[in-house]
Structure 1
Amino acid sequence: MKFIRTSGGSAKKPRPRAQFNLQGRLMLVGGAMALCAVALVVRAVDLQLVDNAFYQQKADARFLREVPIPTSRGMITDRNGEPLAVSSPVESLYANPQELANNPAAIARLAEATDLPLDYLTRYVSQRKDKEFMYVPRHRRINPAVAQKILALKIPGVFSQREFRRFYPQGEAVSHVLGFTNIDDQGQEGVELAFDEWLRGTPGLQKVIRDRHGRIVEHVDLLRPAEPGKDLVLSIDRRIQFLAYRELKRTLLETGAASGSVVILDVATGEVLAMANLPSYNNNRVSGENRDAYRNRAVTDLLEPGSTMKPLTVAAGLEAGVITPTTRFDTSPGWIPNGRYRTSDFRNYGVLDTTGVITKSSNVGVSKIVKLLPDNSFDAFLRRFGFGSSTGSGFPGEAPGTFPTPERWSGTTKQTLSYGYGLSVTPLQIARAYAALGNGGRLVTPTFVKGGHSGETQQALDPAIAAQVVEMMQTVTEPGGTATRAAILGYHVAGKTGTARKSSGGGYARRYIAYFAGLVPVERPRFSVTVVVNDPDTSGGGSTYGGGWISAPLFARVMEGALRLMDVPPDDIDTWIAAQSAEEAKRARALAAAAPAASAAQRGAAP
C-alpha cells in the first residue's frame, strides 16, 4: 500500500471504493418504466373512456366538416316547352390559403396553370392566410375540363367543387324578360328575380371528413338532401319573341332611332307573348358596364303616349252619351286655341265625323270631344283603364306611370290629355288598355306565366262601345287612314298611330316617339300590340319619322308571322282571295310573255 505524503509531511489513507450494485440499479430502472407504463395506461383510459366525447369533439372540429350539396336552379321554358334558361354543371377551383402561403413554389405553379400574375396571386393568398378557404380568382364556375386539367397538376392545397351556372340559349333576344343571376346563382333582374324563390331550390348538406390537405376522405352522413328548383313555364312564345326582336332591330337600323320596344299580349288572357327591347345585352356575359341596357324599357320607361290616347277619349265621349259615331266636328282651320298655345292638326281636315277623327288622327277633333266631358268623369274613365297605376304584372321595377288628378290640372291639361300629352305611361300599359278594347271592355292583368291569369277581370267599358271604337280604329289601317302600312293581307287590323314630341327642358324638342298600337284580327281580336320607336332620325322630313311610317310596318311584319305561327284564321277572306287571284293572273301573264321568247330561242338553237 502506498502512502501519499502531504506538504505537512503526513500521509492520508484513500477511501474505500463502493461496491457496484447491479441488481439495485435494474430494480430502479424497472420501477421507473413501470411507473411510465402506468401513466400511459391511465392517460389512455382518460382519453378513450373518461374524456372520449371531449377529445372526439376536438378531433371532429379539425377534420369533420359540414359541406353543402349544390343543387340546380329550375329551368325556364317558353309556352311551348322550349328552354329559355337552364343550369349547367360547372367546377369552381378553391384552395387552402394557409397551405399555399407556406409554399411559394405551389403558388408559382398555380399562377402558371391559371394564367394569373404571380405577384397578384401571391398578394391575394397572403391577404387570406388566416383562413382555410378561398376561391381561386377568376376560376369560379369554369368549364369542368379546364378545372380537371389544373387539378391534374396536383398542386398542394388546390381543389374543386361542383356548382351550377345559368345559361340562356336565346341570348339578348329575351334577356330583358329573363334577367340574369349573380355568381351565387341568385336572381338579379327580370323573371329570374321575380321568381327567385320558386326557381332557386334548396342546397343539401352532408358531413364529411377531410384530411390535413383538405381532401374529402370519407362521407359520414347526409344531413339534408338537395332539392332542385322548380321549373317555370312562361307565357312567352320564343318564335314570336325572336320575330319581334329581329324586326325591331331592323327598324332601328333603318331609322337611326335610339331605342325601341314591342309588346304583344294575348287579348283574352293578358299573357305576354313577346316583349322585345333595344338596346339589349347578352345575359350569358353580364358585366358592370352599360347597365342602362339592362332595363326592360317596356315596363320601366315612362313616355307620353301621344295619339294612341285618342280612341280612349272617343270611348269616354261615347260612354258619357255626349257624342255618337256620326257626330260631326268642324276642325277648320286645322288648329284650336289651348290657353296661350295652339292645338294643331297635321293639316286642315275640315268637317269630320267621330270615326273620321280617329281615321285622320285629328287633335282638334278630340279636343272638341273632351270639352264636352266633366273633368272628374274623364279622369275616372282613364283610370279605369289602368293609367296612373301599375298593371300588376309583378315584373321587378315596373313603373306605375304619372297621371295628375283633376285638382292639379291647369286650364290646358284636359285638352292635352285627350291626345296623349300631360301623362306618362309604359308601353305595357298601352297594350293592356288596347287589349281591353278588343276584349269587350274587360281589363285583364298582364302575366308572364303561362296559365297565370286568375280569371278575374274588370269591366272598364260597355262591350257595345268597345266594339264601336275597334270598328273605328279599323279605318286607320284602310285607304285614307294614317297607318295603311300596318295592313295585313287576309286580316282586318284595328289600330292607332302616334307621333309624340319629346319633352326637353320644360318644353318640347323637334325629336319624336313613333307609336303604333293595334288589335288583330278585328272580328275576334287575338293580339294586342304596342310598338314604340324612340327618337328616329328626322332628317327625311315630312312624316318619315311618324308612327304610320316607322312603327306601323314593323307591326305588320311581326303580326304577319305571329298570326301564321299561332294558326289564327283570317277574317278578310275576300281580300285574300282577290289578292291570290291577282297574283295568279300576274304569274300567268308573265309566263305568257315569256313563252314566245322561249320558242324563239329554241328555234334559233335548232340545227
Structure 2
Amino acid sequence: MTAELPRGVTPRRPPPMEPMGRARYVVMMTLILLGLGLLAGRIVDLHVIDRNFLQVQGDARTLRTDPIPAHRGMITDRHGEPLAISTPVVTLWANPQDLPADDIQRLRLAQALGQDLDALNERIARYSEREFMYLRRRMTPAQAEEVLKLRVPGVHAREEYKRYYPAGEVTAQLLGVTNVDDQGQEGLELAYQSYLSGEPGKRRVLKDRRGRLVRDLEVLQEAEPGGNLTLSIDQRLQYMAYRELKAAVDENDADGGVLVMMDARSGEVLAMANQPSYNPNNRAGLDPQGLRNRAMVDVFEPGSVMKPLAMSALLETGRFPRDTVVDTSPGWMRIDRYTIRDVSNNGELTLAGILRKSSNIGMAKLTLQLDDPVVPDRYRALGFGQAPGTGFPGEATGNMPAPAVWSSSQWAALSYGYGLSVTALQLASAYTSIANHGERLPPSLLRLNRAAQGEPVIEPDVADRVLAMMDEVVAPGTGARRALVPGYSVAGKTGTVRKSGSGGYEQNAYRSLFVGITPVSDPRIITVVMIDHPRGDAYYGGAIAAPVFSRVAGSALRILDVPPDRPEQEGDSP
C-alpha cells in the first residue's frame, strides 16, 4: 500500500540526464574502431604476413625428425648359413621432467622394467635437470609393449637392432662383437664396420607436447641396410673343429689351443677354432682371455713343425743329394755355448729320416754346412715376420731375428724352429707351398669367387719331394702315427716346444703342435693344431695334437666328399 503524501506537498523528480556531447561520442567511437582495426590488422599479420614464421614455430613444437635405424648386414658362412644377424629390439627412454612423482606409478614402471624401485628413483633424480635418460636398452618388442601399456607420462620407445650370433662360442673370436649401439668392437665386426653398418634414414613425425608420437608424416631419407659378408668358413667344419679342440683342451687340462684348417687349393680358411672361448650372446662374467683370436694374434716358437720348410731351402741349394746321410751320434752336440739334443741317439739318418725322427742335430749339421742364410730367407719368402694381410684387427706379424745378430747357434736353432715366433695362420699359409707344388697362397677369411694367385716360393720338384718325406713321417710305427686318417694318405709333422717366460724357458711347460696335409695324392686341406701347456702325463705333439688332427681331418674329408686315396691297412687307425 502506497503511502500518501500530505496535501500540498509535491513529489521530488530526478534530475534529467544530460545528453552525451558530440566530441565525447566521436572519441569513444574512434577508440572502438581503432581497437577493432588493430585486432583485424593483427589477424591479417598472423595469417598472411607472418604465416611462414608462425608455421615454423608451430612445427618446431610438434614436428620432429626421427632417425630410421639401418639394418646391419648379415655375416654368413661360405654356404650362406647365418653366423651373425640383427634382430629388431626396442629401447625405452624417458624425459625425467615428465615422469610422474607418484610412488604407485613409479613402482609399476620399475616392476615392468625389471628394476629396483630405489635404483630407478636414484637414476631419475640424477637426470632430473635433463630431458633424456635411458630406462632400458634393447628389449624385445613384447617386453617393451608391456611397459608402454602402462601409459606412464614421459616414457618413450625407440626402435633399434641387436646383434645375434647363432653359432655362439663356436665362432666368437673370429666374428667379434658389437656394442650396445650396434657398432663393431672386435674381430670381423670391427674390421668391416663401415661395410656392415649401412646408412641410417630419416622420417618426419608429429608429436604432442609430451613427445608422444601422434602420426608418421613422411620418410625424408630411406635407411640403407649394410652389406652382407660371406666368409670362407664352412660352418659344418667349424662346429666339428671347435668340438674336437675343446675336448682335447679339457682332456689334457691345457691352458688353451687353436686349430686352423685351410683349403690347400685356394688359401681360404675353412675353420678357425680357439680355446678358451665365450658366448657373445651373453657376456655376463666374460673372461677377457676368451676374446683373443689366438690363431691370428698369439705368437709362439713353432719348433719342429718348421723342419720341412727349412728342409726345402736346404734341398734347393743342390748341396745335399738324395743319398745324403748325416751322423747324429751321440744324440747331442755343442754349438757356441749351447747343447743341442735329440730325444734319442738316432745314429746315421737320411734326409727323410731326419724329418721322420725329428732330429735337431741332423737339421743343425746340414744348416751349418752352408755360408748363406738360406733358411731364414726361405722363412721370409713364406710370409713369416710379415702380416698375413687378412685385414683382421690385431693380426700378428710374428718375429724374425735380424741377420746382423745371427750366430752359429741361432742359425742352427732356426732350422729346427727356435729363435722365431709365428702364428697358427702363418703356419697354415706357409704349408700351402708344400701342398701346391711350391706356390704359397695368401690366407683369406672371405669366400673367394676364384682361387687367389699363388706366389712361387719353392721349386716344384723340391716341394713335391718334401711332401713325400712328410708322408713318411706319418706312418704306422712313427711318433706321428696317431695322425693317420683311415682311407687317406697324410703328410705331416709334429712339434713339441718348451714355453718361454720372463726367466727363460719354463720347466715342464710345453706347446704341442701338429701340421698336416691330406690327402697326399691331391692335397685338399691343411690343418694346424696347437695345444697350449697340456698338463697330463704326455705332452709331445704326436701324442696330444696329432689325434686331434686325425679326428678333424677325417670328418672334414667325409663332409667335403673327398674320395679315399689309400686303402685302409692294418694299423692305419690312430
TM-score range, shorter-chain basis?
over 0.9
Q: How many angstroms apart in 1 are the aligned matches of 2:225 and 2:501? A: 50
**Counterpart residue number, 2:422:** 425
User: In the alignment, is the contact (CA less than 8 A) between 1:361 and 1:482 conserved in 2?
Assistant: no
Which 10-residue stretch deviates more, 445-454 or 474-483? 445-454
1:212-255 Cα distance to aligned partner (Å, 9 max, x none): 12112232332110111121111101111011110111111111
User: Residue 541 of structure 2 aligns to which amino acid in structure 1?
Assistant: G
Instruction: Indicate the larger mover: 520-529 or 443-452.
Output: 443-452
Task: Label 1:74 to 1:161 Cα distance change in 2 as closer, same or farther (>3 A).
Answer: same
The aligned residue for residue 344 of structure 1 is 341
Q: How do 1:207-286 and structure 2 match up within 5 A? A: 207-286=204-283
1:465-519 Cα shifts (integer Å, max 9, x gaps): 0010010011111024220000011111000000000012342112100000010
Report if the CA contact (8 A) 1:470-1:522 is conserved: yes
CA contact (8 A) 1:447 1:453 kept: no
Deviates more, 1:260-269 or 1:158-167: 158-167
Give CA deviations for 1:312-359 in whole Å, capped at 9, x if unaligned: 111111011121333100000001112212110000001000000000
Structure 1 counterpart of 2:481, one-letter code: T
Aligned to 2:376, what secondary structure does the other structure show? helix
Scaled by the length of structure 1, the TM-score of the pair is: 0.87
Q: Which residue of 1 aligns with 2:78?
A: 79
Aligned to 1:195: 192
Does residue 1:518 correspond to 2:512, yes or no?
no
Aligned to 1:368: 365
- Secondary structure of the residue aligned to 2:373 is helix
Q: In the TM superposition, what are the counterparts of 1:174-573 in structure 2 within 5 Å?
A: 174-287=171-284, 289-451=286-448, 455-510=452-507, 511-538=509-536, 540=537, 544-573=538-567
Query: Structure 1 pair 322/192, CA: closer, same or farther in 2 (3 Å)?
Result: same
Conservation of the 8 A alpha-carbon contact between 1:314 and 1:369: no
Question: What is the one-letter code of the residue matched to 1:474?
Answer: D
Counterpart of 2:139 (choices 134, 137, 142) is 142
SS of 2:99's equivalent? helix
Q: Identify which range, 364-373 or 241-250, moves more after superposition.
A: 364-373
| Structure 2 CA distance for partners of 1:474 and 1:40, relative to 1, 3 Å | same
CA drift at 1:20: 6.6
Q: Once the two structures are superposed, what CA deviation does each residue of 1:358-406 show, in whole Å capped at 9, x if it has no partner?
A: 0010111111111123343322111000111011111111000011121
Match of 2:45 in 1: 46
Q: Deviations over 1:48-107 (max 9, x none)?
A: 222222222222222221111112111111111211111111111121222127666644
SS in 2 for 1:422: coil
Change (3 A) 1:205 1:500: same
Q: Which moved more, 1:42-51 or 1:223-232?
A: 42-51
For residues 358 and 159 of structure 1, what CA distance do their matches in structure 2 show? 70
- SS of the equivalent of 1:420 reads coil
Question: Corresponding residue for 2:163?
Answer: 166
The structure whose residues are more often helix, as a share, is 1
Unaligned regions of 5+ residues in structure 2, if any?
1-13
* Residues in 2 aligned to 1:44 and 1:102: alpha-carbon distance in whole angstroms: 41
Native 8 Å contact 2:257 2:274 kept in 1: yes
Shift of 1:164: 1.2
Larger mean Cα displacement after TM superposition, 506-515 or 551-560: 506-515
Are the counterparts in 1 of residues 296 and 395 from structure 2 also a CA contact under 8 Å? yes
Indicate conservation of the 8 Å contact 2:476/2:571, yes or no.
Answer: no
Q: CA deviation at 1:193?
A: 1.3
Query: What amino acid does structure 1 have at the position aligned with 2:548?
Result: L
CA distance 1:190–1:353, change in 2 (3 Å) = same
Kept in 1, the 8 Å contact 2:73–2:198? The answer is yes
Q: Which runs of 5+ in 1 are unaligned?
A: 1-15, 583-607
Amino acid at match of 1:128: Y
1:1-20 counterparts in 2 under 5 A? 19=17
Aligned 8 A contact 1:93 1:135 in 2: yes
CA spacing shift, 1:508–1:479, aligned 2, 3 Å? same
- The alignment's TM-score, normalised by the length of structure 2, stands at 0.92
Distance 1:244 1:559 in 2: 9
Deviates more, 1:103-112 or 1:153-162: 103-112
Give the whole-Å Cα distance in 2 for the aligned partners of 1:500 and 1:381. 21
Contact 2:382–2:457 (8 Å) recurs in 1: yes
Structure 1 residues 257 and 18 mapped into 2: Cα distance closer, same or farther (>3 Å)?
farther
| Alignment check: 8 A CA contact 2:244 2:551 kept | yes
CA distance in 1, matches of 2:116, 2:19: 73
Deviations 1:498-551 (Å, cap 9, x if unpaired)? 00000123421121000000100001111111000000015x2xxx11100000
Q: Measure, in 2, the Cα distance between the counterparts of 1:278 and 1:328.
A: 42
SS in 1 for 2:97: helix
Alpha-carbon distance change, 168 to 498 in structure 1, aligned in 2, over 3 angstroms: same
- State the alpha-carbon separation in 2 of the partners of residues 23 and 79 from structure 1: 102
Identity of aligned residues (%): 45
